[in-house]
Amino acid sequence: MATSLKNLSDFSQTEVADAAAFRFGIVVAEWNAEITQALYDGAYEALIQHGAQEEHIKTIKVPGTYELIAGADMLLAFKNYNAIICLGCVIQGETRHFDFICAAAANGIAQVAIKYNKPVVFGVLTTDNLEQAKDRSGGKHGNKGVEAAITAIQMASLQHELAI
């Protein structure tokens, strides 16, 4: 597997834009809270590290990954954010529920981005087990929350550049 030897959150070769001028919303699922809190911590720290101002970061919590869609929509409906970061974790179980939630979340988050013409970042882990989730929320494969924050910064910067 390509990820077995790689920290996916290594952005040392990437020039990340300055986030100081942008407003970010973060929507965090409470289901699998141990994992989603680690994703949130990584995302928040990455935003701050790249210049985002604390007062320009709004965080809301929703019950689960499926509700990330409505949370992102609500944030964009009530305030002008440059990007929204959606953080969740769905771990494969014995039923097809996993498939339905993952597909709905991915499609719904994309639809919110299209509806508002704003970056809405899919920072959702879809893993086979808890160990894989831990590996991708601050473990040996990095932190998907950091990746989502960098994506949000880069996309907000791109949209700003294109608007000039």
CB atoms under 10 Å from CB of 141, counted, come to 18
For residue 85, give the 3-state DSSP assignment.
strand
In the block, residue with structure tokens 């990954």: 65
C-alpha 39/C-alpha 62 separation (Å) is: 14
Report whether 36 contacts 30 (CB < 8 A). Answer: yes
Give catalytic residues, as residue numbers: 97
| Burial class of residue 37, CB neighbours in 10 A (0-12, 13-18, 19+) | middle
Whether the CA torsion 90, 35, 47, 71 is positive or negative: it is positive
